[in-house]
Amino acid sequence: MTDSLPMVTFPDGRSVCALGQGTWHMGERNGDFAAEVDSLRAGIDLGLTLIDTAEMYGGAENVVGEAVKGRRDDVYIVSKVVPSNASSKGIVQACEGSLQRLGVERIDLYLLHWRGRHPLAETVEAFERLQEAGKIGAWGVSNFDVDDMEELREVRGGGAVATNQVLYNLARRGIEFDLLPWSESAGVPVMAYSPFDEGRLLSEPVLAEIAARHGATAAQVALSFLLRRTNVVAIPKSGSAVRLRENRKAIDLRLTSDDLALLDNAFPPPVSKQPLEMI
Ligand SMILES: NC(=O)c1ccc[n+]([C@@H]2O[C@H](COP(=O)([O-])OP(=O)(O)OC[C@H]3O[C@@H](n4cnc5c(N)ncnc54)[C@H](OP(=O)(O)O)[C@@H]3O)[C@@H](O)[C@H]2O)c1
């Protein structure tokens, strides 16, 4: 397994490994808590130090909090505020709640989970105040399409957006038509969520076929497809240390042009604008 990790740099200059860890559905069952903490720790040991969570994910922030105890400086924590809390006042309370569950003094990157009824200008101003107070490092958004990003960048302070976290995997390639090129030219990294399409992708025969050529697995092929891009951070979720190790090895896999042609055939890239998909 290679020691060198592909890195992505956010606009504030902070670099993170392009392969991170998701946490949705963690903390939902008490009996899984210890294994989930262990798997996040195993991931951190492997260099997968960006951990994505959200106030909406129930107990997931508590799992992350336990996993990062004693190693806060090794990790880059991303959390999200639900849109109904993204007002001047609501966001302060929501952020405090996340900080408490995480057991940390600062969230490295705090995202608006999706667009809601509060004006973007109000949310951006609230993010800035949290930054000034040292509660968050940077801020960003999630589930924003190109028109939302353009509107955001028109808002005072909106140009500081650090990332846009969106659904992106082989079966959901719509953003390749416009949002991905837009993000590349704007210098805003994209965080690809549900890189396995919540696991569904992994039973696609073409992934098994390509994996067999490389002595790899379907999960590694799905991740390698995303990791080819220099502006994308993929955040697969696994509650198993064994599967995390498997996912980490995707960094060593190089897909050939033949592999990519097979993938294009099975999952054609978009030829026109697709509305942004969300899970
Ligand atoms: N911003 C948003 O609106 C948004 C929406 C959805 C998700 N997210 C974030 O993105 C993260 C990832 O997305 P996701 O959790 O929806 O789905 P995902 O990462 O595409 O898939 C997770 C599923 O794949 C399984 N898995 C992981 N590694 C595997 C492997 N090597 N082989 C076989 N199965 C494997 C996991 O099972 P095990 O756990 O048993 O390994 C789990 O069932 C989330 O956890 C969350 O942090 C953000």
Tell me what pLDDT residue 3 has.
Answer: 72
Report whether pLDDT(212) > 90: yes
Asked whether 208 lines ligand 1 (CB < 6 A), one says: no
Minimum-distance ligand 1 atom for the alpha carbon of 196: 20
* Across 202-228, average pLDDT: 98
- Report yes or no: 83 and 111 within 8 Å, Cβ to Cβ: no
Report whether pLDDT(2) > 70: no
Catalytic residue positions, numbered: 57
Minimum-distance ligand 1 atom for the alpha carbon of 193: 10
* Across 252-257, average pLDDT: 97
**Band of residue 215 on the pLDDT scale cut at 50, 70, 90:** very high
Name the residue with the closest Cα to ligand 1, atom 24.
Answer: 199
Report whether pLDDT(18) > 80: yes
The residues with which 19 forms a beta bridge, in sequence order, are 234
For the stretch 49-97, pLDDT in tens is: 999 999 999 899 999 999 999 999 999 999 999 999 999 999 999 999 9
Name the residue with the closest Cα to ligand 1, atom 34.
Answer: 199
Distance CA 42, CA 44 (A): 5
Q: How far is the CA of 11 from the centre of ligand 1 (A)?
A: 26
Nearest Cα to Cα of residue 110 among 167, 187, 157, 162: 162
* Across 173-197, average pLDDT: 98
Distance CA 110, CA 123 (A): 11
Distance CA 65, CA 75 (A): 11
Asked whether 52 lines ligand 1 (CB < 6 A), one says: yes
The answer to whether the pTM exceeds 0.95 is yes
- Report yes or no: 115 and 143 within 8 Å, Cβ to Cβ: yes
Domain segments of the chain as ranges: 16-200+230-239
**Residue 115 φ/ψ, nearest 5 degrees:** -70, 140
Q: How far is the CA of 261 from the centre of ligand 1 (A)?
A: 25
Distance CA 27, CA 9 (A): 30
The domain defined by 16-200+230-239 folds into TIM Barrel (3.20.20)
Q: How far is the CA of 246 from the centre of ligand 1 (A)?
A: 14
Minimum-distance ligand 1 atom for the alpha carbon of 24: 45
State the DSSP code for 270.
P
Distance CA 244, CA 241 (A): 5
- pLDDT, mean over the chain: 97
For the stretch 94-120, pLDDT in tens is: 999 999 999 999 999 999 999 999 999
Q: How far is the CA of 165 from the centre of ligand 1 (A)?
A: 14
